[in-house]
A and B are shown apart, each in its own frame.
Chain A
Amino acid sequence: MNLPPEELQAIRVAARWYARLHSGITTDADRADWRAWLAADPLHGQAWQRMAAVAEQMASVPGALAAPTLSDTHQRSRRQVLRSALLLTSAGGLGWLGWHSQATQNLFCDHRTAVGERREFQLADGSTVLLNTDTSINVRFDGQQRRLELLRGEILVTTAFDPLRRPFKVVTGPTEVLALGTRFIVRSQARGGEVAVLEKAVEVSLLATGSRMRVEAGQRLDFNERSLGALRGNDVSVGAWQKGSIIAIDRPLAALLDELSRYRPGVLRWDPAIGDLKVSGVFPVDNTDLALAALESGFSLRVTRYSRFWVQVSGGDRR
């Protein structure tokens, strides 16, 4: 290798920083130290870019498939393969799905999923978080609190009892969601988001104004940067993604296609003329081609594929 020694040294130190920032128990002080190191020398920035390139290559495959495949082949035994099979099925059939991820965007987050991927993680306190498609989160646990930062996407949180009695919070954009012993979903969207509670309750506060609202099991609440919305009841469609489907009940086609495109790499377009058409049904998110086929046959629409990554939905011929 013909790299100058100072560059090799910078790579070694950058690798140590990478390790420190991906422990799952990183503190704000660690991150401040890292920023100082990064700013100290352009060589440091260069070396960090190289870490980014490695991370990007790792993110080019779905973890659920990469882990069992790459576990050392010399030590592989039948039992190990069976064990990973059990792990996969016990995660509730979450499994595979696309690997078209925005790796660099996600380099600085603790957990992420690619478009079309769904994965569950266990946190240090025993709580679990299920990441829906195209989601990134940071985990910030310290002596005072258990805090998740939802950077993009959607998560289902199931909190565990904490012997230290630290509060459990999810922060996303303008709001903070305080869990009150519970199972709930938080979704982050362009200018706000939504919280839906499945068990017990949460308290949602808008950080800018300090306004608060308690959301009980069976209820949901949307919000934007300026205000909290009104409480609504959950229907069966809420959280259906954790089982791999979208449930639509008299839903405008445009909203359904919008939802489907979250799970699908590439471009999904539709003719505005059919956007208001009301559709109902259960559509699989793990195979959006199947969902589109169901729409095509069930609602006499026409799905035109210009390529795998470019699909147009328009009204069917009504001759």
Chain B
Amino acid sequence: MPANDLSLRSAVDVLYSDHHSWLQGWLRKRLGNTFDAADLTQDTFVRVIKARTALDIREPRPYLSMIAKGLLIDLFRRRSLEQSYLEALATMPQEQHPSLEEQAILLQALMEIDRLLLGLGPRVRQAFILSQFDGLTYPQIAERLGVSIRTVNNHMAKAMEHCCLMQIQLQLS
């Protein structure tokens, strides 16, 4: 193992033993439950290890809580998406429901798409969803949103560019 890998590793060890219980307490206060807090604490340290930044951290607690906050938002978003998904599913006839295994795959796929859409303005997002998933034409979307066809076209171009860059970024990380 190269020397800097060794020192990186000991830096992570120090970070973990010094701040692990503090972080878990910080998360428990926000989540109100021990299991999720333990999970997210673990995930936070995994992020730090992957980023290989442990040696450069000057202020460990603000840094760790920044990462943990991102993970918290992800978790809330995932829960809210899951809720919407279940509501949408509930509107479909029971006999058409996918199997539980298929549902898990489907929910995962929806979350990944949701991550691509993250950061789009609400109008752009709506236009994109109406086109991609509802199959509406631009004139139909324009009418529904009360904007010009040209605007719908611009929204679509913007959304595609955004999703494409997000996809590249997520593949790299």
Contacts and interface: CB of A to CB of B under 8 A. Distances in A.
B117 interface: yes
Given A61-B109, A72-B126, A67 B160 contact: no
Contacts, number: 161
Contacts of A65: 85, 88-89, 92, 106, 110
Contacts of A111: 135
What band does the interface of chain A fall in when counting residues whose beta carbon is under 8 Å from B? Answer: 35 or more
B96 A286 contact: yes
Interface in B101-137: 106, 109-110, 112-114, 116-117, 122, 125-126, 129-137
Interface residues of B, number: 53
A180 interface: no
A86 to B, nearest CB: 9
B96 to A, nearest CB: 5
B60 interface: no
B153 A23 contact: yes
B116 A54 contact: yes
B168 A122 contact: no
Interface string A88-116: 11000101111100000000000100000
Contact of A70 (B89, B113, B153, B165): B113
Contacts of B160: 14-15, 18-19, 51, 54
Given A12-B161, A24-B137, A58-B133, A66 B167 contact: no
Contacts of A73: 77, 80-81, 84
B151 to A, nearest CB: 11
A120 to B, nearest CB: 9
A302 interface: no
Given A23-B138, A67-B133, A124-B137, A51 B164 contact: yes
A71 B84 CA distance: 9
Interface of A: 1, 3, 8, 11-12, 14-16, 18-20, 22-25, 50-51, 53-54, 57-58, 60-61, 63-76, 81, 84-85, 88-89, 93, 95-99, 111, 119, 121-124, 139, 284, 286-287, 290
Given A11-B165, A70-B133, A75-B122, 4 more contacts: A1-B169, A57-B109, A67-B129, A95-B92
